[in-house]
Amino acid sequence: MSASPVVTRFAPSPTGFLHLGGARTALFNWLYARRHGGRFLLRIEDTDRVRSTQPAIDAILSGLRWLGLDWDGEAVFQFERAGRHAAVAAQMIERGDAYRCWMTAAQIDEQRAAAKAANQPLRIRSPWRERDDGPADQPFVVRLKAPREGATTIDDQVQGPVTVQHAELDDLVLLRSDGTPTYMLAVVVDDQDMGVTHVIRGDDHLNNAFRQLPIIRAMDWPEPVYAHVPMIHGADGGKLSKRHGAVGVEAYRDELGILPEALDNYLLRLGWGHGDAEIISRAEATQWFDLAAVGKAPSRFDLKKLENLNGHYLREAGDGRLAALVAARLGMADDPALDLIERAMPALKPRAANLGELADAARFLFAERPLPIEADAAPLLDGDARGTLARAHAALDAVGRWDTEALEAAVRAVAQVAGLKLGEVAQPLRVALTGRRTSPGIFDVLALLGRAESLGRIADQMEEPAR
Ligand code: GLU
């Protein structure tokens, strides 16, 4: 372990929901800090006043909380620190590492056109780099005096060593003409002031690292360790975006009914591995996580795998917790409903891959008589089946204690007497009791519904409905 305590941070721009890629970045930062007994900080990069919104901030905070990614201390809001950013720019001018630049839009356009004609990327060469006698009453920006000789190599913990020639860098803007800081300056100053030791972020920021390091070096600040994590791609190999389906964490929670521990486990495994382990608890992840095992290649998002993991975590989850989640989905939050769903949960949860399916499977508990029969189940209630229902009704009506054992004995006896297989009795019962072809085990269904409701639902289907 390094001598200085590890400090990581997650630095989202609040311009939309918490993206899956962002959630994974946050998770990696959280795990790295926890693994090393360090601190995990949160900084909201809200300097873009037009695109930053309060709903986006709320979505990010609630998404992180839902995923169990608690941050240390208060979240830092970057915009509030604009004065400090400007002060650093002023210090850099004083030290000779930045300069005021009065280039006009026309001059910049000229360089852009020349670069285009020469088929070169635009690298601003400002005439003000070495002089400070510009027109005092005219607007200026502050530019970094970037090194032009030599090269910088970053020993990236994920990408390996990456080198950029300084000749490829330009004198980027630190302060705009209205005095507001640019992203490049703000990130560096904030990381320094927050004591960040490890910058773990998406590899779309790798190029930025080479622009940020000269600022850090100019200020004689300690250089962080960098780890640039590959992006998440969709099944077709393109960068994960809306066209691949949901990309916001809250959609996985609200629409797809994923449990947070399942999403955490999935995101962790997406691009990081520990031997063959697929199911990895938070405690294990905190012990095992390291940057060396983060893959260099982009990983592909696979909803099926996520749902498999989710099914696992649903089966592990406490029945009371699941009942509350399901009740909320069904809009049935009163105590008797919660209690019934909780009692049904052991029978419901082995089949479900998400909370939506779980809620759907629980719906029969609250259906009102006479039950609507789903279209694909209706053909199962033919004349023979209705006759079987009548026999089952008589047998069940005679049951003493309404428990699964007695119910099973009664239904088996009906089958035996009628010379039918158990399934030939169970299936019409299932349709009558739930309105569907699939449900938990029929004895569980009978027990959960209780005597009066079960017998009522069966009686409702014993006769062909009048047309
Ligand atoms: N705010 C940047 C983003 O959301 C991240 C900056 C960083 O991690 O350095 O992409």
Rounded-to-integer distance, Cα 156 and Cα 122, Å:
26
Note the pLDDT of residue 136. Answer: 87
List pLDDT tens digits, range 212-241: 999 999 999 999 999 999 999 998 888 888
Q: To the nearest whole number, what is the mean pLDDT of the chain?
A: 95
Distance 190 CA to ligand 1 centre (A): 12
Confidence category of residue 3, pLDDT binned at 50, 70, 90? low
- Contact in structure between 264 and 284 (CB atoms under 8 Å): no
- Listing DSSP states for 124-187 in one string gives ---TTTT-----TTS--EEEE----SSEEEEEETTTEEEEEEGGG----EEE-TTSPBPHHHHH
Please choose from 8, 9, 10, 13 the residue to mutate so as to test ligand 1's pocket, defined by most ligand atoms within 8 A of CB.
Answer: 13
Note the pLDDT of residue 78. Answer: 98
Rounded-to-integer distance, Cα 464 and Cα 185, Å:
77
Confidence category of residue 467, pLDDT binned at 50, 70, 90? low
List pLDDT tens digits, range 379-401: 999 999 999 999 999 999 999 99
Statement: residue 466 has pLDDT above 80: no
Distances (CA, A) of 291 to 20, 28, 149: 19, 8, 31
- Give the pair of three-digit tokens for residue 198: 């490890």
**Ligand 1: does its nearest atom lie under 6 Å from the Cβ of 11?**
yes
Distance 183 CA to ligand 1 centre (A): 9
Note the pLDDT of residue 2. Answer: 47
Could you list the active site residues? 242
Note the pLDDT of residue 31. Answer: 98
Confidence category of residue 461, pLDDT binned at 50, 70, 90? very high
With a CB cutoff of 8 Å and minimum separation 6, the contacts of 65 are none
Note the pLDDT of residue 300. Answer: 93
Q: What is the mean pLDDT of residues 259-271?
A: 97
**Strand, coil or helix: what is 369?**
coil
- Contact in structure between 306 and 298 (CB atoms under 8 Å): no
**Ligand 1: does its nearest atom lie under 6 Å from the Cβ of 211?**
no
**Ligand 1: does its nearest atom lie under 6 Å from the Cβ of 35?**
no
Report which ligand 1 atom has the smallest distance to the Cα of 9: 8
Count of CB atoms situated within 10 Å of the CB of 292 = 8
Distance 193 CA to ligand 1 centre (A): 16
Statement: residue 1 has pLDDT above 90: no
Distance 11 CA to ligand 1 centre (A): 5
**Strand, coil or helix: what is 320?**
helix
Please choose from 24, 205, 247 the residue to mutate so as to test ligand 1's pocket, defined by most ligand atoms within 8 A of CB.
Answer: 205
Distance 391 CA to ligand 1 centre (A): 68
Long-range interactions of 364-370: CB distance < 8 A, separation 24+: 364/433, 364/434, 364/435, 364/436, 364/439, 364/445, 365/340, 365/341, 365/448, 365/449, 366/330, 366/332, 366/337, 367/434, 367/435, 369/453, 369/456, 369/457, 369/460, 370/457, 370/460, 370/461
Note the pLDDT of residue 157. Answer: 98
CA angle 399–450–379, rounded 5-degree value: 90
List pLDDT tens digits, range 176-186: 999 999 999 99
Q: Whose CA is nearest to atom 6 of ligand 1?
A: 11
- Give the pair of three-digit tokens for residue 242: 């809306």
Query: pTM above the 0.75 mark?
Result: yes
Q: What is the mean pLDDT of residues 411-437?
A: 97
Distance 304 CA to ligand 1 centre (A): 29
List pLDDT tens digits, range 313-357: 999 999 999 999 999 999 998 999 999 999 999 999 998 999 999
Q: What is the mean pLDDT of residues 418-446?
A: 97
Torsion, Cα of 384, 386, 391, 394 (10° steps): -170
**Ligand 1: does its nearest atom lie under 6 Å from the Cβ of 357?**
no
**Ligand 1: does its nearest atom lie under 6 Å from the Cβ of 201?**
yes
- Contact in structure between 346 and 300 (CB atoms under 8 Å): no
Element (H, E) at 98: strand 98-101
Note the pLDDT of residue 239. Answer: 86
Note the pLDDT of residue 244. Answer: 81
Report which ligand 1 atom has the smallest distance to the Cα of 191: 9
Statement: residue 172 has pLDDT above 60: yes
**Ligand 1: does its nearest atom lie under 6 Å from the Cβ of 14?**
no
Residue type, 47: T
**Ligand 1: does its nearest atom lie under 6 Å from the Cβ of 43?**
no
**Ligand 1: does its nearest atom lie under 6 Å from the Cβ of 13?**
yes
Rounded-to-integer distance, Cα 248 and Cα 253, Å:
9
**Ligand 1: does its nearest atom lie under 6 Å from the Cβ of 187?**
yes
Note the pLDDT of residue 64. Answer: 98
Distance 28 CA to ligand 1 centre (A): 14
Q: What is the mean pLDDT of residues 80-98?
A: 98
Strand order in the sheet with 39-44: 7-10, 39-44, 76-77
Phi-psi region of 150 (alpha: psi -120 to 50; beta: other; left: phi over 0): left
